[in-house]
Structure 1
Amino acid sequence: MAAALPAHAVVGGSAATRGQFAPIVGIQRGTAQHSCTGTLIAANRVLTAASCADGTTAAALKVVAGRHHLSGTTPNQQTVEVAQIVKHSGYQASTHANDLAILKLKSSVTLDGTYVALADLPTSAAGSPTGNVTVAGWGATREGGQVSDSLQWVQVPTVTTAQCKTAYGPSAIYPGMICAGDFVTGGKGDCTLDAGGPVLKGRILVGVYSWARGCGRLLSPGVSSGVSYYRNWIDANVS
C-alpha cells in the first residue's frame, strides 16, 4: 500500500472559535503536550483511532476536554486519566484497517453544552457521507511543521471509494474507510498529529481520522474510519 508519510497538520484552514468544536478532545501521551485527538461520545468515553494507542498503556494517556490552546490552560478545560483502551479487534497497524478505539475514562467530564459536549453519531444505516465535511485538530498548518497552538479547522469535500482506490491503490482501502480531501487541487486536510480527530457533517461525527499520504497533498485525500459502518461496534463497546 502507499506509505503514510509523517506530516502533521490541519492545513489550509482557519483558527476555530472557542466552543466551535465542543466534543473534540486532545490526547496526551506521557509528557507530550499533544499526541492525538479524539471526540467525546459519552461523558466518560472518547472515540479515537486505535493507532493513537499503539505501543502505550491506558496509564500513560490523559484526555483534555474543553481545550482550545495547547499552551496554558483554557477556562473550562478538564484533564482526565484513561482507565482502559478498547481497540477494535480487527485493527491492523500495518494497513490501518479498523483503526478505531474507545478510551474509557477514570471519571466523567462535566458537560456544559457550550465548551464541553457530546458528538452526535450517525445510525448504522446512514452509509458513507457525501458533500463537504469538516476536520479539526491541533496539527501544524503546513506539512512537516510544528503543532498549532490553537485549534484549527477546514472544510473538505468527500471523495468516492473509487477515487480513493485510484489514489492509494485498491488494496489500501478497506471496508469501513471513508475518504475526504481536496482531490483536484490539494492544499487542505489533516494528518498524523490529528489522528483520531473528528470528521464532521454538521454536528454529526461521520468519521475518525486515520491516515493520509503527506498533508493535504494533491490526489491524496485523508482516510478515516466511517462511524456509520462501525456504529454497532461502538454501541457494543461503549458501556
Structure 2
Amino acid sequence: MTEKNRPITQGKRVVVRRALSAGIALAAALVPVMGAAPGAQAVVGGSAATRGQFASLVSIQRGSEQHSCGGTLIAAGRVLTAAQCVNGITAAGLKVVAGRHHLSSTTPNQQTVEVEKIVRHSEYSASTHANDIAILKLKKPVALDGTYVSLADLPTASAGYPTGNVTVAGWGATREGGPVSDSLQWAEIPMVTKAKCQTAYGNTAIYPGMICAGVLSTGGKGNCKYDTGSPVLKGRTIVGIHSWRRGCARPQYPDVDSGVSYYRAWIDANLT
C-alpha cells in the first residue's frame, strides 16, 4: 500500500479530531457576527404588491435584460427614471413595460413599448450621481386604463424636501447580493433629513437635489439592486427617483434619491 493510500493512524486521528473541534468552535464564534452582516438582512423588508397597486410603475428593459431599472409614467408617452439607467445606451436598446406585475409571466393589460428618445440631464455625473434624472419618450403612448396603467402625479416646484413616510416599490433584490425579484414588492420607509444623510455619507457626497429615506436605526427596509429609477411615492405623487445607496437597507445608510420637486422645472421643459 502506498503512502498516499495508507489509512490514518491513531495518532493522526487525534490530531484531526482536535483540528476539527477547533474549527467548529471558531465557526460557532463567528455565527453571531456573520448573522449581523448587512448581506444577511431582508432588504426590501416589505410586502408583495397587489396587481394595480402601483399602476404608474414601469419595468425598463435594457438590451437583452428582462428587467434592468424601474421608471414612472408621468404622461402616456413619457417615463421618468434615473439617468444612470440609460447611461451609455441608445434609445434603440430600450423597452418599457407598463402594467407589469410578475417578471416571469405576462400580466393581462401588460404593454411593451419601444423608446424613441432619451432625454438625460445634461449635468448628470456618473461618478457622483448628481442630477440623476432622465425622461424616456416612447414611440407610442401606452393605453391608460386608470386601474392597471395610470399616471403618477408630480409635486410642485415649491413642495421642497419631503417629510414623513414614503413608499418605495420595485422588482429589486429582496436581500443584498440577491437576484431580481420576480414579483413586485413595496415598503414604507421614513424620510431622512439632509443633515442626517450628510452625516451618513459625508457632506460632499450629497448634492443639491438629492433626498434620502430609510430606517436609520435598524435598516432592513429600502431599495436594492434593480430598483434604480423606481419611484419614491407619497400617495400618487412621485417625490423621488431612486438613485444610489451603500449596500442595501443597511443601518445608518439610507437610500439616496433624486428629488422630483427640485427638478420640476427641468421636467416641464423636457416633457414635449
TM-score bin, normalised by smaller chain? over 0.9
Partner of 2:100: 67
Structure 1 alignment gaps of length 5 or more: 1-5
Say whether residues 1:92 and 2:125 are aligned partners: yes
Say whether residues 1:39 and 2:69 are aligned partners: no
Runs (4+) of structure 1 exceeding 6 A deviation are none
CA distance in 2, matches of 1:238, 1:143: 35
TM-score of the aligned structures, taking structure 2 as reference length: 0.84
Which structure's residues are more often helix, by fraction?
Answer: 2
Partner of 1:154: 187
Letter in 1 for 2:133: L
CA distance in 2, matches of 1:207, 1:65: 19
- Trace 1:155-174 onto structure 2 (pairs within 5 A): 155-174=188-207
CA-to-aligned-CA distance 1:109-145 (integer Å, 9 cap, x gap):
0000000000001000000110100000001111100
Letter in 2 for 1:58: A
Say whether residues 1:187 and 2:220 are aligned partners: yes
Kept in 2, the 8 Å contact 1:91–1:97? The answer is: yes
CA-to-aligned-CA distance 1:72-120 (integer Å, 9 cap, x gap):
1000000000001000111000000000000000000000000000000
Partner of 1:3: none
TM-score of the aligned structures, taking structure 1 as reference length: 0.96
Shift of 1:185: 0.8
Partner of 2:22: none
CA-to-aligned-CA distance 1:25-50 (integer Å, 9 cap, x gap):
00001110000000000000000000
CA distance in 2, matches of 1:126, 1:220: 25
Shift of 1:149: 0.5
Query: Aligned pair count?
Result: 234
Larger radius of gyration, structure 1 or 2?
A: 2
Structure 2 alignment gaps of length 5 or more: 1-38
- Trace 1:107-118 onto structure 2 (pairs within 5 A): 107-118=140-151
CA distance in 2, matches of 1:21, 1:234: 21
Shift of 1:195: 0.5
